[in-house]
Amino acid sequence: MNRLIGRTIEQQELTDIFNSKKAEFVVVYGRRRVGKTFLIEQFFNAKKCIYFYATGVQDGLLKEQLFEFAKAIGQTFYHGATIATPTTWLQAFDELNKAINSLPSSKKIVLFIDELPWMATKRSRMLQGLDYYWNHDWSKNENIKLIICGSSASWIIKNIIYNKGGLHNRYTCSLLIKPFSLSESKAFLASRDITVSNKQLLQLYMAIGGIPHYLDRVKKNLSITQNIEALCFKETGFLFSEFDKLFKSLFDDAKVYIELIRIIATSREGVSRALIETRSKLSQKGGTLTDRLTDLEQAGFIKSFLPLKHQRQGMYYRIIDEYTYFYLKWIEPEKHILLSNEVGHHYWVHQTHSAAYHAWMGYAFESICYKHLAQIQKTLNIPMGSKAGTWRHLAKNSSQDSGAQIDLLFERSDDAVTLCEIKCTDEPFTIDKNVYNLLMKKAAVYQQITKTTKQVFIAFISANGLKKSAYAHKITGVVTLADLLQE
């Protein structure tokens, strides 16, 4: 039985790979605990093939990596028999190649090498061995499907996708495995007999995101609020100390990346590259900061934005990983108090009634909207080929100039632009005279500064829709949480 939830596009890609009439070199990457290994195992275990699986050992020595690799060869090809541990990766791949050649030529073979960055330690020459056997043997066998995988997305991209050596341009397909969408998260919970409303799903998603491994920790005998309390605010909770473990597993110098994350987390609107340079201790020589920011973005923790029509302001960044922001906002500041048990039980229940909670909801909901642009575009009937982005204009102190921040806009392909205001409230949002005038002012500033001649539409993305008012009908489109849950 196929236990896979969602991943429709990825499964179709894997089907095409499995059925292709040529050797395939597939690169799979995505942040830790996003379900990469589960996807590959579930998919290919349901196929008629020889499935070889070997995984790296975190912080393992070369001899430990080679021992586990040899053990995987014995389990897959020799009915579990023990084979001698090779001393080099060339020897290890030679043993694997001999095992492959011992099979009937008609057999399809899937070689899944997981957590490759942990195997390819410094001076191990693991990549050189992989390069040799792929180019010399496996690429000539149409029945071999080589799949390599790693949680360190930046490492995979630098060392495999953009490899300048023998593996340059050798991969035939790359798959970025992203966190579940809202609809996939709801389906995943339902597969575990956990039924939640859209509002409850949003509360959970804003705290832990669409990471399958986190969602799998949700207990069906607890409410969503109780689950967040148990996972995040108890010393034994899985997510109470996950933050440091997560970064240490992905980056050798985790402290540097955490420093950058903290800087970016200080502003809801996002932090400019210039401000990061000012606050960070990183040297600018050799593009160090650029590389680190790229690493964080490729790992799915942050997103860079170049404001549409305002590119001279430069790049700015904001956190888009829900758990990371939740940890920095709620868990870490109270960790010492939580550990001393001074706050007692039901800490999170009390926080849900605070002003800080509602401010956090607004930020988290905006990030979720950026991940569901396709659903927003479909609901607002925005044509294909339109460009999504953000926009802001900072007022100058020495003038009567007015500033404006537009949460999301679509530069449409039909000579129009849709400006979106994003709100997350427990009840339907009310557009009164003041709110409406503010929206008109934002639109006017946008038109004045950009000098656009396009037709301007104003839309609202409101988790619980809009309340009927004298001004609500003036809005040209509304997107609700239910719309974000579309497939």
E strand segments, 43-171: 50-55, 109-114, 144-150
What distance in Å separates the CA atoms of residue 62 and residue 86, rounded to the nearest whole number?
A: 10
- What does the DSSP assignment read for 43-80? HHHTSSSEEEEEE--TT--HHHHHHHHHHHHHHHHSTT
The pTM score is 0.90
pLDDT above 90 as % of the chain: 71
| pLDDT of 272 | 87
Numbers of helices and strands, H then E, in the chain: 22, 13
Q: Quote the tokens at residue 395.
A: 């007022």
Q: Go through the domains of the chain in sequence order and give each one's CATH number.
A: 8-176 (3.40.50.300), 180-371 (1.10.10), 372-484 (3.40.1350)
What distance in Å separates the CA atoms of residue 71 and residue 84, rounded to the nearest whole number?
A: 9
Q: Find the mean pLDDT for residues 209-224.
A: 96
Q: Name the amino acid, one letter, at 328.
A: L
Q: Find the mean pLDDT for residues 285-289.
A: 66
Which has the closest alpha carbon to 215: 197, 228, 226, 233? 228
| C-alpha to C-alpha distances, 214 to 5, 35, 157, 232, nearest whole angstrom | 15, 10, 25, 11
- Residue 466's SS3 state is strand
Burial class from Cβ neighbours inside 10 Å (0-12, 13-18, 19+) for residue 77 reads buried
Average predicted confidence (pLDDT) for the chain? 90
Listed range (25-34, 51-60, 340-349, 383-392) with the worst mean pLDDT:
340-349
| pLDDT of 90 | 97
| pLDDT of 1 | 42
Q: For the chain, percent helix, then strand, then coil, each to nearest 5? A: 45, 15, 40
Q: Name the amino acid, one letter, at 299.
A: A
Check if the beta carbon of residue 445 is closer than 8 Å to that of residue 406.
no
pLDDT band, residue 264 (cuts 50/70/90): very high
What distance in Å separates the CA atoms of residue 392 and residue 390, rounded to the nearest whole number?
A: 7
Q: Find the mean pLDDT for residues 59-87.
A: 96
Asked whether the predicted pLDDT for residue 422 surpasses 90, the reply is yes
What distance in Å separates the CA atoms of residue 168 and residue 159, rounded to the nearest whole number?
A: 9
pLDDT tens track for 432-472: 999 999 999 999 999 998 899 999 999 999 999 999 999 99
